[in-house]
Structure formats: structure tokens, C-alpha cells
Structure 1
Amino acid sequence: MIDSLEWATATELLTAYRSGEVSPVEATRAALDSIDRHDADINAFCLVEEESALAAARESEARWLRNEPRGQADGVPTSIKDLMLTKGWPTLRGSRLTSSDGDWSEDAPAVARLRENGAVLIGKVTSPEFGWKGVTDSPRCGITRNPWDTSRTSGGSSGGSAAAVAQGMGPWSVGTDGGGSIRIPAGFTGVVGFKPTYGTVPLYPASPFGTLAHAGPITRTVEDAALMMDILSQPDARDWSAGPAPMRSFLETLGEGLRGRKIAFSPDLGYGRNDPDVEKAVRDAVQVLSELGAEVEEIDLGWTDPVDAYHVLWFSGAAKVVEGYGPGAIDQVDPLLAAALQRHAGFSAGDFLDATAVRMKLGREMGQLHERYDLVVTPTLPIPAFEAGRDVPAGSASADWTSWTPYTYPFNLTQQPAISVPCGFTAEGLPVGLQLVGPRHGDARVLSAAAAYQNATGWHHSRPRSTSQLSIPTRK
């Protein structure tokens, strides 16, 4: 039985549709009602299409009544990050440079696969301008806030996706991740965010950030993330760099568990520094992994921060985006983006090749590490969510968003699968995320380990205090 449609997961909804307990129309109305109640405070949505969503839900309801569901997501209310093309809806990318009058006649691959599988698209969710930073505010859409404390940021750049899911405004969303943009907001808002191996989810158009960019699910449970991955990982000929579809269902391999797995625990990757509440929550989570049968070893990777190489690749891409809008465009973008591009300007082809060499070295080291360890575990972030409307925490020595995200962008450089799952709360009641990283193409391993941890704990049942009387559990 589903106690609350607002908090039902996608897999729960599909089971209820199958039995006739719930209809897609009821579930879609519940998501839309939640948006009506909460989004004025959160600002997760930049577009809501109630009429078309309810029409799609009625069509889904009719299919379920005939016992002819269209696919694996038939009737599930779904939001799309506003960096992804969505047929019939403008993709504004958080920028005043983008006209809403464009030719919006095409779906991005992830959107196309969800639509083909019957998902009910309810709207588009916010992103910082062109997805350039680790928080979600933009000149076009304003500030997206954290459901756990609306004075705090939701993180970014898929902050709209994470805030919507965390607040019960639909069970899942599609995000993108070029340096942590799925995992950062998942960590800050207490939901699940999965960045698959590069090329597992096709992308089109190609990202200006090149092969740093991934697409993937933001959900409330690992089961829903695996289900969405089964859908998103299907081929699309428009992405020449995508790999073949996985041989096995991610959802069907979730039960493999952790017994016998060898895990390398790196609390700081050799150069980070954690908030004490984050450190405690993550170490408690690592103890759970050990209790589940994993062989855990704390290691010192001895890394130096690869941020300079990352900046070359990242800000070269951001500069090309803005340049594409012609002379004067730089004066119309987020002033902090303009300032960042000024700080990180003048990169040469040699700089790009040097950054690529750093990337290749890091990838080789991680490949060799995974010959000894099945997984690497870190905090998702070293700090809890900070004040909304800022790019960096107050008092930061750096103006760059990468200064407070040291554990996410390295795994975009290496293209590895990585997931953030909720693992506790700070003394102030802010979520903490645990990051599990696998070898390239070890996506199923990452998901099954995350599912084992989730099922041994109760963090994914927690709800923002403003919307629920549920207490924060300590363990299941």
C-alpha cells in the first residue's frame, strides 16, 4: 500500500498501477499539487505544463486499464533538467541569451527514451547558466533553494532536479554531471544521484564540456536510479561517442550486495578537509559497509589536487558557449561566470594537452587501483549546504566552485561511475552524502553496493521537516 503519493517512488507507483491501486492521473496530480504548495519557496521548476502532463497521464491510465503499458516508466511523473532538449518546450539553459522562440522540435536522447517508455513529463527544472557551477541560481530563473533549509543552496548544477525530488515534486528527474552536478545536489538535499560511466547514457547535442559531461538519474532510492538507468542507457545514433547498451539490466543486478567486496576508503583523496559532522557521518557509513561483509581498508591515495587541469578543460568549454552568442554576450551572462572566465582565460592548445595528460595519468592510476579494490568510497562533499545565492561558502579563500567540491570532479576526469547516497545529517539537520566510485563500466557494481547500504539504513526515508512529521532515523 502507498501511504502518500507525494512520496511514492517510481517503482512503487508502477507496482500500484499494475494492481490498480493507483492511477497515473492520481500520481501526476499529486506531483503537481506538491509543486503548487512548495515551489514558490524552493524554485525548482522553470516550466510546469499541467495540461499536457494530465493529458499524458490519462493516456497512460488507459494503457494500464488495457494491461498494455508502453514501457518501463509508463505513467511516472518526471522532470527534466533545463539543459536537455525537450520537444515542444524551450530549453533556456538558465540564460537570458537563449530565446524561447527557438525550434524546439527534438528530444535529447534521455528525454526521448523516457517519453518512449511512457513517462509523464511534468516540466523542466532549473540549472545555473549553461550548467557552469556547483550551485543553482541564474539570471533567468533566480535562486533554487534547499528543501531542508530554504536559506541554504540546493547545490548544482542539477539543483532543480534534486530539490524537486527531495521535496516530493515528482519521484525522479534527469540531470547532467560535468564535475559533480548530479552528485553535489544529491548530497546537499539527501537524495540519490548517479553519474554513470561516460557514454553509458547517450548525449545530444554534444556537451561544450566534452567528455567531462555525463547524464543520469536523480531519485529517492537506488532502485529507481537503476530502473531509470535501464531506460536511459538504450542506444541513440546521434551520440557517436556512446558505448553499446549494457548486457544486463541494472535493476536485476541490484541484489549482488557487498559481501566479499574490497573497498578502499579515502576520507579526503589526499588533499581535502572535512567538516566534523560530515566526517563522522561518512565514517559511520563505512562501518555499515564493513558490517555488510565488505573488506574495507582506509588508504592514502597521495594525490595532489587535479583542479588546475580540470579548470583548463571546464572553462575552455564555458568560454566557447558564451562566445557562440556573439559580441557583447559576456556582458549579459551571470556576472560571476564572466568573472570566472576572466580568471581562467588565455588557455593554449598546449595547456589543453597538458590537462589531458593529467587526466590520462589519473585515469591510469584509478584503473590500477581498481585491480586491487572493487570500489572507492569518499564523502560526496566535505561540507553541508551553505547559504543560497553564493557560489562558495562565506569566508572562502577561493572564488571557484571547485574549491568546495574536491571529491566529485576528479571522477569526471576519469569518466568513472559514481553515486551519492544519503548517509546522515549534521547537527543542524542538513543531509550528508556518501560517494561510491567504481571502475569504468562497473556501473552495476556501484549501484548494487549503494542498494545494499541503502537497505541496511533508513536515511532515504527521511523527509524535509517542513513537509513531514517523520523523525530522522539513525538506522533501519
Structure 2
Amino acid sequence: MPSRNPLAGAGELCLLDAAQLAAAYRSRSLSPVEVAKATLDRAEEINSDFNAFTFVDSKGALNSARESERRWAAGEPLSEADGVPTTIKDIVWVDGWSVRYGSATTSDQAFSRDAPSVALMRKAGLTFIAQTTTPEFGWKAVTDSALFGVTRNPWNAEKTSGGSSGGAAVAAAVGAGVFHLGTDGGGSIRIPASFCGVVGLKPTFGRVPAYPASSFGTVAHIGPMTRSAADAAIMLKAMSGRDLNDWSQGVGALAPLDAVQADLAGKRMGYWSKPAAGTLDPEIEAAIARVAGKLSAAGATVEAIDLPGDDLLSLFHHHWFSGAAMRLSMVPETERAGIDPGFLDIARQGAQYGSTAVVAAQARRADFGVAMDKLLADYDYLISPGTAVPAFGAGLEVPTGGEFKRWTEWAGFSFPINLSQQPAAVIPAGVTVAGLPIGLQIVGARGQDASVLSAAARLEEIVSR
């Protein structure tokens, strides 16, 4: 099947970004209701082909859009993002929606409260359109589940969307919403962003509050997925803040999210080209090397670096697999028959880790985090491929005929940054000969989310030349 433009067929209203919508709402040349209707139509139109949504909330979205319309008419919007169409991943609580975590073992009863990130976005007036698909418990970097089926890549429906925020990436790519909430425990925002040709940010850990705490612990982040770095910056501001339900946020102040203008000339960039696991596809390697050359031509100093630490794959497995064991322990034995076999496998492996090994892994992680903080004190940013491989067959955990047995083995540019908790954005950086997107990752120091997104916006310009 040949690749296609995911935005083909999207109406004009579905192509507008957040700033354009705010300007149109303010001038009253557009209504949030018109935009919500166009977005709902687009979501329904594409879902049978790509399976991006668990459900579309037409009634709730239109009610919210009407309230937004009244606020803009009165000159009293709740924020510059008031009335912007938004989707939420099926792993984050939304008042009035059932949240299934992609699993038939969960209840379809609606929740009566918002997760903190959702509450912040609701307070900013965002219009919630639909819920996006995830694999069971968000355990892997592709999106399929026994409950909701396989989510497909909008560039080529025979390929995976990536995951675990695969539905969110598809929704962004096809224009079914402007803002899309994803989660990222080992690449689950950045991998589908790479595979689907959109922008995704894993923020600094603690930037976006979370409740309830993830079973996967402090490798799990919540962040924005959009079609541009500028939109990601607006969305991040709307979903960020302190929430006392999230103890792991701590009380330390993060750098403010005020707009930053990143001139990459004179910046020192570390070029990370060797994944922490597996090997790098030559076509992706060549594409990112071209970007590095363009950065040098733009006046940046680009230096090859190796990531500090060793055996990071095993280190991540100790955190991820033990988290899976924790999540499985919440499911009664009598309800486990239909659970994804891959999830059961890693959960059982995680349960075999002794407590000493898990605590030792936490200490090793701290050492790696220190080394990464020191590296980002020497470099303004790191750049790398977003993924080591292009999108492969839909419904598969790993590419066929290759070296990989688990998704983590081809996610070697993603999971290390979950261990060290720096902000990391992925932007589109071209396509393969087969017409599949290639992603570029930009990593910054902890707390410097605004700087990373500003650099991403500048890189969008450089890559497009």
C-alpha cells in the first residue's frame, strides 16, 4: 500500500492551529461550535480506517464549545486555548467518561472526576472531543488491544501507528483535533509522533501533574501531541501546574513556560546516534545526519556523543517490568485469561526480580540521572533519531525478520530519557523512500521545556529547507 498524506480530505477548519483559532474566535470570524463540529466529523470519518478513538463525545464536545462561544463573545475567554479541540488518551481520567486502559479487565463505569492534567485543561476552556486508543495498560510502543483492536498508521494503514499513544498520534496527523494528550513511560509519546509525522513532547518529570500515580512509577510522564512545536507549547502551558494529589511532583520550582526564542547559532549540540539498545536503520541514520549538517551550517556546534551509563536496557526493564507486575497484581486471577500475552510475559518477569535487584536498579538509575544532568550542563541540547526504525507492520510488537524480541529493543532512543527525566521533543524530519515519517528528537536539561520547544520550532524551519 503506498503512503498517503494524512491530512488529505481534512476540511479547512481542521487545518488551523491554536493561534489561528484564537484569532478567529476573538474576531468572531469563526465559532468554537463550528470548529468542534468539523473536528467531530473528521474523527468519525477517519476512525473506521485507522481506529484512533475508543469513542467520540459529540454531545459533551458541542456543549463545551457552546460555552466557549459565549465566553469569546463576551470577551472573557478562560485562556488563549479556550475552545481548542482536544483529545485524551484512554489512560487518563475524564469526568463523565469511562477509562478502560485498553483492557477488558477494567470497568466501563464513567469516572466522576478529572485527572489533574485534564482538570487544568478544562479550567483553560479546552473542548474535549474524543478518547484515543492505547494498548492494554499502555505497556508497549505499538497500539493494539483485545478490547479496541489495532490502530493503524495514517500514512500507510498496513503499518503501526506506534504507541502507546498511538491513537493520539493518528488524531493529530489527520486533523481530528489540535491538542492531544499522550503519556510516555518509555517513548509512548515520542515513538508514535515519529511514526506518524507529528510533534510530541515528553516534558520534564513533574511538569504535568498525574493522579492516580502510574503503576510504572516515575518513568511515566504526561505530555502534548500536536502538529507543530508552537501548538505543543500552548498545550503544555494549559496542562501544567502543581496539584497536591501528585506527591511525586515535589515542591521544587520548574523553569517558567514563558516563550523563549531559540537561536541555534552558537549553541553546542550533542549528536547522539547510537541507540541504547538495538541498531539504527541506515535510512534514518542518513536523514538525521543531514539535519546535523544543516545545524552546523546554521551556526551550531554539533559534536558526536555517547550516552553515559551501560546496560540501560536491563536498567529500564527492572523499572518497567516490575511496574507491569504491580499493575497485573491489581487484576484478579480469574480475569487474566484475555490479557495481552506480551504484558503477562513482562509482568511475570518483573515479579521474579528480587527486592534487592529493584532497589539496586533505582540506585543505578540515580547515577545515570546525575551523568545525564552533567551532560546537559555541557551541551545546550542533544539531538538524535526519534526512533531507530521506521513504522513496521500493524499489530506487531517488533519488525519481522529482525533482531528484536521486545519493543524496548528498538526503542533505544526513547527509554533512556524516561530514566533521566529530561524534556524531549520529537518533530518530523523527512520520510523514508517508502514514504514513512522519520522523527528527530531534541533533548534539553531538566526544567527547560520551553527552551526545548523553542529549539524544536527552529528545527522545524531548518529541517524544511
Q: Secondary structure at the match of 1:121?
A: strand
Bigger drift between 62-71 and 374-383 goes to 62-71
Please state how far the C-alpha of 1:270 moved relative to its aligned partner. Answer: 6.3
- Equivalent pair of 1:198/1:214 in contact (CA under 8 Å): yes
Distance change (3 Å), C-alpha of 1:305 and 1:426: farther
Hey, what does 1:455 align to over in structure 2?
A: 461
Q: Which residue of 2 aligns with 1:166?
A: 173
TM-score, normalised via structure 1 length: 0.92
Q: Which of residues 123, 128, 133 in structure 2 aligns to 1:126?
A: 133
Q: State the shift of 1:293 in Å.
A: 2.5
Residue 329 of structure 2 aligns with an amino acid whose one-letter code is E
Q: In the TM superposition, what is the alpha-carbon distance from 1:344 to its structure 2 partner?
A: 4.2
Aligned to 1:188, the other structure's residue is in SS state: helix
What's 2:223 paired with? 216
Residue 19 (structure 1) aligns with? 27
The yes-or-no answer on 1:101 pairing with 2:118 is no
Q: What is the CA distance between 1:249 and its match in structure 2?
A: 3.0
| CA shift for structure 1 position 369 | 1.3
Contact 2:323 2:347 in 1 (8 A): no
1:194 aligns with 2:201: yes
Specify which of 362, 368, 375 is matched with residue 369 of structure 1: 375
| Partner of residue 92, structure 1 | 100
The structural deviation recorded for 1:427 is 0.2
Deviation readout 1:302-345 (Å, 9 max, x if unpaired) = 65341111111111111111211222333231122123333444
Sequence identity (%): 45
Contact 1:271 1:303 in 2 (8 A): no
Moved more, 368-377 or 171-180: 368-377
Q: Is the 8 A contact 1:382 1:404 kept in 2?
A: yes
Point out where structure 2 has 5 or more consecutive residues left out of the alignment: 1-9
Q: In the alignment, residue 248 of structure 2 is paired with which amino acid?
A: S
Residue 3 (structure 1) shift: 8.2
3-state DSSP of counterpart to 1:256 = coil
- For residues 63-82 of structure 1, the aligned pairs below 5 Å read 63-82=71-90
Moved more, 241-250 or 383-392: 241-250
Structure 1 CA distance, aligned partners of 2:309 and 2:360? 17
- Scaled by the length of structure 2, the TM-score of the pair is 0.94
Alignment of 1:235-314 (within 5 A): 235-243=242-250, 246=254, 248-250=256-258, 252-253=259-260, 255-269=261-275, 272-301=278-307, 303-314=309-320
Distance 1:314 1:219 in 2: 26
Aligned equivalents of 2:152, 2:331: Cα separation in 1: 29
The separation in 2 between residues aligned to 1:3 and 1:22, in whole angstroms, is: 14
Residue 33, structure 1, aligned to residue 41, structure 2: yes
Q: Tell me, what secondary structure is at the counterpart of 1:328?
A: helix
Say which SS state the counterpart of residue 249 (structure 2) adopts. coil
Report the Cα distance in structure 2 between the residues aligned to 1:240 and 1:289, rounded to whole angstroms. Answer: 40
Instruction: Measure the CA separation in 2 of the matches of 1:337 and 1:78.
Output: 29
Alpha-carbon RMSD: 1.7
Write the distance in 1 (CA, Å) between the matches of 2:273 and 2:103: 37
**How many Å separate the matches in 2 of 1:233 and 1:373?**
26
Residue 426 to residue 357, structure 1, CA distance change in 2 (3 Å): same
| Partner in structure 1 of residue 5 of structure 2 | none
- Contact 2:217/2:323 (<8 A) preserved: yes
Provide closer, same or farther for how the CA distance between residues 76 and 395 of structure 1 changes in structure 2, counting only shifts above 3 A: same
> How does 1:340-355 map onto structure 2 within 5 Å?
340-355=346-361
Count of aligned positions: 455
Task: Report what 2:60 is aligned to.
Answer: 52
Q: CA deviation at 1:300?
A: 3.4
Q: Which runs of 5+ in 1 are unaligned?
A: 459-474
Q: Deviation of residue 271 (structure 1)?
A: 5.3
Aligned-pair distance for 1:234? 1.7
Mapped pair 1:5 → 2:13? yes
Whole-angstrom CA distance in 2 between matches of 1:350 and 1:264? 35
Between the aligned partners of 1:249 and 1:310, the Cα distance in structure 2 is 29
Per-residue CA deviations over 1:240-294 (Å, capped at 9, x if unaligned) read: 12155645334x22x2321221101011146542212211111111222223332
Name the structure 2 match of 1:470: none
CA contact (8 A) 1:263 1:295 kept: yes
- Superposed structure 1 runs of 4+ greater than 6 Å apart: none
Q: 1:270·1:302 contact (CA, 8 Å) conserved in 2? A: no
Is 1:395 the equivalent of 2:407? no
Go from structure 1 to structure 2 and tell me whether the alpha carbon gap of 1:361 and 1:390 turns closer, same or farther (over 3 Å shift): same
